[in-house]
């Protein structure tokens, strides 16, 4: 056997999506992208929320917030939010 056989599961890179929050709850986040597509993310107890280096909570997100969501596809093919970054909109 090779060393690769013992390496364990391979972590897939995170997808990164920019958009505007349409709906945000502790379990679900819907973001509308620049090209008007709505993408639904599932939020878990492992999902982390940030604004810069400051940690946030899910309830801090509001409709209309500009965000970047790093996600991973789960075993069912759904997008799980891993990190959610609220971006400061410049005036």
From first to last of its 91 residues, what are the pLDDT tens digits of the chain?
A: 455 555 556 567 899 999 999 999 999 999 999 999 999 999 999 999 999 999 999 999 999 999 999 999 999 999 999 999 999 866 6
- With respect to residue 65, please indicate whether it lies within any of the assigned structural domains: yes
- With respect to residue 72, please indicate whether it lies within any of the assigned structural domains: yes
pLDDT at 68: 97
Return the CATH number at 66.
2.40.50.140
- With respect to residue 5, please indicate whether it lies within any of the assigned structural domains: no
**Residue from 40, 48, 23, 31 nearest 76 by CA:** 40
8 Å CB contact between 50 and 85: yes
- With respect to residue 22, please indicate whether it lies within any of the assigned structural domains: yes
pLDDT at 13: 85
Handedness of CA 30, 32, 58, 40 (dihedral sign): positive
Query: If DSSP codes are grouped into helix, strand and coil, which group holds residue 76?
Result: coil
Task: Give the count of domains, the chain.
Answer: 1
- With respect to residue 59, please indicate whether it lies within any of the assigned structural domains: yes
- With respect to residue 9, please indicate whether it lies within any of the assigned structural domains: no
């Amino acid at each position: 056997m090779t060393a690769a056989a013992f390496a364990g599961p391979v972590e897939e890179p995170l997808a990164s999506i920019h958009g505007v929050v349409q709906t945000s709850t502790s379990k679900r986040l819907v973001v509308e992208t620049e090209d008007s597509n709505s993408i639904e993310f599932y939020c878990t107890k492992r999902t982390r929320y940030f604004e810069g280096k400051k940690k946030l909570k899910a309830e801090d997100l509001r409709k209309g917030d500009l965000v970047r969501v790093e996600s991973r596809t789960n075993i069912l093919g759904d997008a799980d939010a891993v990190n959610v970054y609220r971006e400061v909109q410049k005036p």
